[in-house]
Amino acid sequence: MWRVLSLLKPYRKWMGIAWFLMLIELIVELWQPLLMEKIINEGIIKNHFPVIWKWGAVMIIASLLAFAAGITNSFAAAYVGQQFGFDVRKRLFMKIQSCSLPQVEQFSTASLITRMTNDVTQMQNMVFMSLRIMLRAPLLIIFGMVMALIVQARLAFILVVIVPFLLLFLIWAMKKAAERFSRVQQALDRVNRIMRENMANMRLIKAFVRSTYEQQCFRNENETLMAQTMTVSRFVEAITPALLFFMNVAIVVILFIGRKEIPTGGVNAGEVVAVINYTTRMTAALSIFTFVTMVFSRARASGRRIAELLKMPTNTKEKTHHAMITRGELEFVHVSFRYPASESFVLRDVSFSVRENETVAILGETGAGKSSLLQLIPRLYEVTEGTIFIDGIDVRHWDEATLRASIGFVPQELLLFSGTIRENICFGRNVSEEEMIQAAKAAQIHDAIMSFPNQYDTIVGQKGVTLSGGQKQRIAIARALIRKPKLLLLDDCMSALDAKTEANVWRALKAYDCTTLIVTQKITTAIEADTILLFKDGKLLAKGTHQQLLNNELYRQIVQSQLGKKGMSYAPRTP
């Protein structure tokens, strides 16, 4: 939690101001009973009007001062609280953006979202609270204690015994509650997860008529969340009656002492009344403490979850190579790879090299490691063993941003963002209208876009129109082409295109001056490539041209599955 709270540093000045103003308010507040007493004793009872006017005016001025201080404090506290929340969310978001993919994938999306919104709100509440009332409780208690001791130490000593004990109890309770609150947040994560899955999969759920089943799953998690929240709320809310009871017992004890001491003249009745009065005030302050405890322990649980993200190491190693890719040569040297969370290797000892402007098709069984291989090139994941060279330089030495800027990648998943088609195609690139249209035309999506009412300004993604799978794939292709990449990586990204469209895309791609790696299932696509890499179980089984690979058993099977027997004699039309 301290790690998160250290983000408050820039606002020390404002926090100081807020606390100072709170102090002014408090002093006025504590002074008020004395003023009232004066007005009553010296003014009203003695029927002395000037005193009433004088002290009345003082009181009103003082309370206006407190009002001004309070209002300013309200602004200062809101400023610090909101600014702090803003900063924490910003840090979290920037952290996630700077982490590698496997680091982010450790957490479920739902949990990341809860941490960035709900958990931050909890912390924010605590900061706001501490700037508004936190000082109040301890000051009221100290003040009450001191006054009680001044009035009559013999009566007040019981408070000296009981109050520290109660404070220790509060600290213990806060720790306990924090543990339980972290369970609440976890339950919230799970509720959020089911929600998210249901939102994304609603079509499937409806198709399989699984609404009742999903609702049952949700009901379970929802009940857990409810039970956890109830447990911790009841625990925290039980503190007040307990404290109240102890403080009330203290009052009875004070009465007993009074009874013993009054006859001997050690204590007088007025002192007993006064000390009891102060005890009551301290009790009220303690119940503020309970409230603070609740807010603090919840914030503590949230703070820990936020810190867990913030302390993730980011790769700060200075990259030596900042240039863009110039030639687009690629070489894999004994590359092996397994996903960080898994034990089995997806790629084993893969070596091959690709020349400038060469087109390479990657073929293989489902799950042979084809997509993983492509993802290693822009360093979405790091190789486990071996090295990948681009233009003769180890990819680990490239600056990620520049490396990726000259790679055009079309992933297999259809990832578009809420926004216009224009934004999705340009995706952060500052390009001219002509360049955008050129890329869209190459991807064979221009005509479809022009048929939408708003054309390139049509909103797509979660908030927009529903595009077909083929349309999404072509927008993703245009998004890659617009960067005029030196290295184009296509991950089975034309599966939803009909043959004619696909052929047109291929024809247009010829005009782009780049090295191309394409993962594909279609043998006709593979045949046209300069080289075919055939994968099985993460190993590079064979490499060569179509004719060379026909000797390979697996390759022959693939060809036969698509072209039948006659495929064996099939030759590319353009040599």
Partner 1 sequence: MRHAHHRKVIKEKRPAKENIRTLKRIWAFLAEEKRRFLLVIGLVIVSSALSLLGPYLVGKAIDTIIAKTANGFMMIAGMLLVVYLALSLSLFWQNYWMIGIAQRTVSSLRLRLFEQFHQLPLAFFTRRQSGELMSRVTNDIDNMSQTFDSTAIQVVSSTLTLIGAIVVMLSLSPILTAVTLLIVPLLFGGMKWITNRTQPRFREQQQQLGDLNGFIEEVISGQKAIQLFAQEKEMIARFLQKNEQLKQAGFWAQAYSGFIPKLMNVLNNLSFALLAGIGGILAYEGMVSVGTIVIFTEYARQFIRPLNDLANQWNTLLSALAGAERVFAILDEQKEEEEEALDLPVIRGEVEFQHVSFSYDQAKEVLHNVDFSVKQGETVALVGPTGAGKTTILQLLTRFYDPTKGKILIDGHDILHIKRESLRRQMAFVLQDVFLFQGTIRENIRYGRLEATDEEVVEAAKQANAHSFIMKLPNGYDTMLQQDGGGISQGQKQLLAIARAMIARPAILILDEATSNVDTVTELAIQEALTRLMNNRTCFVIAHRLNTIQHADRILVLREGTVVEQGTHDSLLQAKGFYYELYHRQFQEVS
Subset of residues 443 to 502 that bind partner 1, contact rule: CB under 8 A: 448, 453, 461-466, 468-471, 479, 483, 492, 495-502
Tell me the window of 101-109, 140-148, 312-320, 540-548 that interacts with partner 1 (CB under 8 A). Answer: 101-109
Identify which of residues 525 and 531 has a Cβ nearer to partner 1 in the complex: 525
Tell me the window of 115-123, 161-169, 330-338, 382-390 that interacts with partner 1 (CB under 8 A). Answer: 115-123
- Report which of 458, 482, 484, 487 is spatially closest to residue 471, judged by C-alpha positions: 458
Dump the DSSP string for 357-372: T-EEEEEE-TTSSHHH
Phi, then psi, of 353 in degrees rounded to 5: -135, 150
Give the DSSP letter of residue 429: -
Tell me the window of 5-13, 137-145, 159-167, 229-237 that interacts with partner 1 (CB under 8 A). Answer: 229-237
| Residue 547 contacts partner 1 per CB under 8 A | no
Residues 386-445 contacting partner 1, CB under 8 A: 400-401, 404-405, 407, 409, 411-418, 427-428
Identify which of residues 312 and 496 has a Cβ nearer to partner 1 in the complex: 496
Choose, by CB under 8 A, the member of 147, 251, 312, 324 that binds partner 1. Answer: 251
**With left for phi above 0 and alpha for psi between -120 and 50, is residue 451 left, alpha or beta?**
alpha
Report the alpha-carbon distance of residue 424 to residue 87 in Å, rounded: 28
- Cβ–Cβ < 8 Å for 278, 147: yes
Give the DSSP letter of residue 11: G
Tell me the window of 150-158, 159-167, 213-221, 307-315 that interacts with partner 1 (CB under 8 A). Answer: 213-221
Report the alpha-carbon distance of residue 272 to residue 140 in Å, rounded: 19
Report how far apart, in Å, the C-alpha atoms of 429 and of each of 320, 409, 432 are: 24, 15, 9
- Cβ–Cβ < 8 Å for 451, 471: no
| Residue 15 contacts partner 1 per CB under 8 A | no
| Residue 523 contacts partner 1 per CB under 8 A | yes
For the bound state, the minimum distance from the C-beta of residue 417 to partner 1, rounded and expressed in Å, comes to: 6
Identify which of residues 308 and 333 has a Cβ nearer to partner 1 in the complex: 308
| Residue 508 contacts partner 1 per CB under 8 A | no
- For residues 403-426, one letter each, b for 16 or more C-beta atoms within 10 angstroms of the residue's C-beta and e for the rest, the string is bbbbbbbbbbebebeebbbbbbbb
- Residue where the block lists tokens 């040297």: 333
Report the alpha-carbon distance of residue 426 to residue 468 in Å, rounded: 20
Choose, by CB under 8 A, the member of 195, 323, 450, 568 that binds partner 1. Answer: 195
Choose, by CB under 8 A, the member of 23, 143, 167, 201 that binds partner 1. Answer: 201
| Residue 29 contacts partner 1 per CB under 8 A | yes
Residues 118-137 contacting partner 1, CB under 8 A: 118, 121, 124, 128, 132
Identify which of residues 191 and 421 has a Cβ nearer to partner 1 in the complex: 191
| Residue 550 contacts partner 1 per CB under 8 A | no
For the bound state, the minimum distance from the C-beta of residue 17 to partner 1, rounded and expressed in Å, comes to: 14
What's the token pair of residue 230? 């109830």
For the bound state, the minimum distance from the C-beta of residue 336 to partner 1, rounded and expressed in Å, comes to: 17
Dump the DSSP string for 467-499: PPHHHHHHHHHHHHHTT--SEEEEESTTTTS-H
Residues 255-294 contacting partner 1, CB under 8 A: 255-256, 258-259, 262-263, 269, 272-273, 276, 280
- Cβ–Cβ < 8 Å for 470, 496: yes
Residues 54-73 contacting partner 1, CB under 8 A: 56, 59-60, 62-64, 66-67, 70-71, 73
Residues 168-187 contacting partner 1, CB under 8 A: none
Choose, by CB under 8 A, the member of 19, 27, 42, 105 that binds partner 1. Answer: 105
